[in-house]
Amino acid sequence: MDRASEFWPAFVGSRNDLYKQAMTWKEQIAGAFGFGTAPFALHQSDEDLAKEAIRAAKAEGATHDDFAREIALYARKYVSSEGILRERLQRDSETLDKLWNA
C-alpha cells in the first residue's frame, strides 16, 4: 500500500469498494455546481464535470429535459427565494443548452 492511501483511503488504488463504484449522471451533477449555491458550470473545472455528466446522461438515454429537471432539483436544495431561483434556473438553463449542444 502506498503512503497516500495509508492516510487517505479514498484515493485511487484504495481497497475500499465504495470508491470503485461508478457515479450515475445524476450523482455527477452536484460536482458541476462547485458548491451548493454556485451557478451550474460557472468555472472551467465545473464545466468539465458538467460535460462528463452530460456525456454519461446521453449514454444512458437521458434527454435534455431530464437533465434540466435534475439541475433544477439540485438548485432548489440551496436557493429558497423563488425570484432568485427563477433567475438562477434561467442562467443554468442557458448554460445547459450550450453544453448539451456542444
- Model pTM? 0.78
Residues 6+ positions from 47 with CB-CB distance below 8 Å? 32, 41, 99
Length of the chain as a residue count: 102
Whole domain around residue 72: which residue ranges? 23-100
How many angstroms separate the CA atoms of 18 and 61, rounded?
Answer: 25
Q: Over the stretch 41-69, which tens digit does the pLDDT of each residue have?
A: 999 999 999 999 999 999 999 999 999 99
Measure the CA angle with vertex 74, ends 57 and 95; round to 5°. Answer: 60
Instruction: Let me know if residue 34 belongs to a domain.
Output: yes
Instruction: Let me know if residue 16 belongs to a domain.
Output: no
Q: What's the total number of domains in the chain?
A: 1
Reading the block at residue 6, the C-alpha cell is 495509508
Instruction: Let me know if residue 87 belongs to a domain.
Output: yes
102 residues of the chain, pLDDT tens digit each? 444 444 444 444 445 555 556 889 999 999 999 887 899 999 999 999 999 999 999 999 999 999 999 999 999 999 999 999 999 999 999 999 999 999
Instruction: Let me know if residue 29 belongs to a domain.
Output: yes
Instruction: Let me know if residue 14 belongs to a domain.
Output: no
Measure the CA angle with vertex 85, ends 31 and 95; round to 5°. Answer: 50
